[in-house]
Homo-oligomer: A and B are copies of this chain.
């Protein structure tokens, strides 16, 4: 199979390298597109591309070329990529891409277009790089009915939060992550949850057979998680991680991304550093865990090469029919509420009153020693309640005169492996 490659950056050149290392004679790169292609062609890593390949800085030279059967897109972003890939698909080319934003926002339409033109559109590298959760689900779990998918799909947030666990504050850790290359100069896509949300939408489509649009999924930033929250979480048997989760609840999909308290016994709490970790919960098969390197040129390239090989060997991916279901971020769960107050009598009574007015039961109140009374952090945990109900109670609390900063609300993530046999 002859491949046209769009993009010769870190992942693109790693793709050429992994392909060359595997001695897959059935796959050949015939064309490479990149802006400023002469500079790329002179680069040391160009040695992984066959000498006879055509290098070009015009995408059109690749998209419809007669010596290209499959287009591998490793540039990213929506525009102009969407148009390019539509051109390729319409010209009868298979498409393999690592483009999470494109798949999250335009996946359903592009998959329909590919089906119409009888070509494959594979995107195993778009979520969790080297972790084969997409082919694992598409093939190995196609017989089950998956009710929930959850996990850690953003390595930057996992690095930051697992570092904060040892006592560092957010600002320090972010600066370290930026120096180490784990975080961008503008960290918003990672820490505010937009990257994870796009990946969750891709996973939810495959796992739940439901269309989940990024704009329908609330993404809560991790910026407001403080060093003070980790000792409280620990007392509750938990740690704090950025969790992405979507689950079927009758005809509704409940989906959220954000920092959550995760019990130490949950597989989601296992992940270290920048590792990714995804858990599918099936009606019959129970919980299945996939874990590994979520990013980096080589792991991502493994996923891309695997997709190319899948197509070259004639495999057809089972495309589930996608349902249109209502999507809401309103999840029922126990919650963690961290308040910072100027201490005076009656505070607990006022907080408890705000919760009681919404029929929310308090599970525990925690207050660690050693904080100044004019800026006193303490924690209330609730029994399971809808987030929207809790948000109303928190809005009332926020206007109370003793409240020094906005309350932090974190879901407490509950494992729910089903009994099997």
* A173, CB-defined interface residue at 8 Å: no
Q: Which of B141, B287, B318, B421 contacts A297 (CB 8 A)?
A: B421
Q: Does A218 contact B (CB under 8 A)?
A: no
In the assembled complex, A334 has its CB within 8 A of some CB on chain B:
no
User: A49-57, A62-70, A304-312, A353-361: which lies at the B interface?
Assistant: A304-312
Interface residues of A, count at CB 8 A: 59
Closest to A141 in B: B132
Contact with B along A360-376 (1 / 0, CB 8 A): 00000000000000000
In-complex Cβ contact of A292 among B283, B285, B297 (8 A): B285
Stretch at the interface among A142-150, A163-171, A250-258, A324-332: A142-150
* Contact (Cβ within 8 A) A142 B298: no
CA distance in complex: A269, B236 (Å):
23
Closest to A21 in B: B145
Q: Identify A143's interface contact among B18, B136, B137, B289, CB under 8 A.
A: B18
Q: Does A226 contact B (CB under 8 A)?
A: no
Indicate which residue in B143, B293, B301 contacts A22 across the interface (CB closer than 8 Å). Answer: B143
Which of chain A's residues 371-421 have a Cβ closer than 8 Å to chain B? Answer: 420-421
Most buried by B among A19, A124, A138, A301: A138
A231 at the interface (CB under 8 A from B): no
Distance (Å) between the CB of A55 and the closest chain B CB? 23
Contacting pair B318 A139 (CB below 8 A): no
CA distance A359 to B296 in the complex (A): 41
Q: Are A130 and B302 in contact (CB under 8 A)?
A: no
- A286 partner residues in chain B, CB cutoff 8 A: 130, 292-293, 298-299
Question: Does A316 interact with chain B (Cβ within 8 Å)?
Answer: yes
Cα(A288)–Cα(B289), bound, Å: 10
Asked if A135 lies at the interface with its beta carbon under 8 angstroms from chain B, I say yes
Measured CB to CB, the nearest residue on chain B to A19 is B143
Q: In the complex, are the beta carbons of B130 and A420 less than 8 A apart?
A: yes
A119: min CB distance to chain B, Å = 14
Residues of B with C-beta under 8 A to A14: 284, 421
Check B284–A301 contact: CB distance below 8 A: yes
Known: A132-B139, A270-B270. A21 touches B318 (CB 8 A): no
The winner among A21, A143, A145, A308 for most chain B CB atoms within 10 A is: A143
Given contacts A140-B136, A298-B284, contact A316 B318 (CB under 8 A): no
- Contact residues in B for A130 (Cβ distance below 8 Å): 144, 282, 284-286, 288, 420
Question: Contact at B310–A282, with CB atoms within 8 Å?
Answer: no
A187 sits at the interface (CB 8 A): no
Q: Is A131 close to B, CB under 8 A? A: yes
Interface string of A16-31 (1 = CB under 8 A from B): 0011011000000000
The yes or no answer to A346 lying at the interface (CB within 8 A) is: no
| Alpha-carbon separation in the docked complex, A301 to B19 (Å) | 35
Q: Which residues 257-273 of A sit at the B interface, judged by CB distance below 8 A? A: 267, 270
Judged by a CB distance under 8 angstroms, whether A317 is at the interface is yes
Say yes or no: A298 contacts B21, CB within 8 Å: no
Query: Chain B residues near A144 (CB, 8 Å)?
Result: 18, 22, 130, 302, 305-306
Give 7 new A-B contacts, CB below 8 A, not counting A139-B139, A314-B316. A19-B143, A21-B145, A132-B139, A143-B305, A143-B308, A285-B292, A314-B314
Chain A interfacial positions (CB closer than 8 Å to B) = 10, 14, 18-19, 21-22, 124, 130-145, 267, 270, 282-293, 296-299, 301-310, 313-318, 420-421
17 contacts between A and B (CB under 8 A): A14-B421, A18-B144, A21-B284, A130-B144, A132-B140, A132-B141, A139-B306, A141-B302, A142-B305, A143-B307, A144-B305, A267-B270, A284-B299, A285-B302, A288-B293, A296-B421, A314-B315
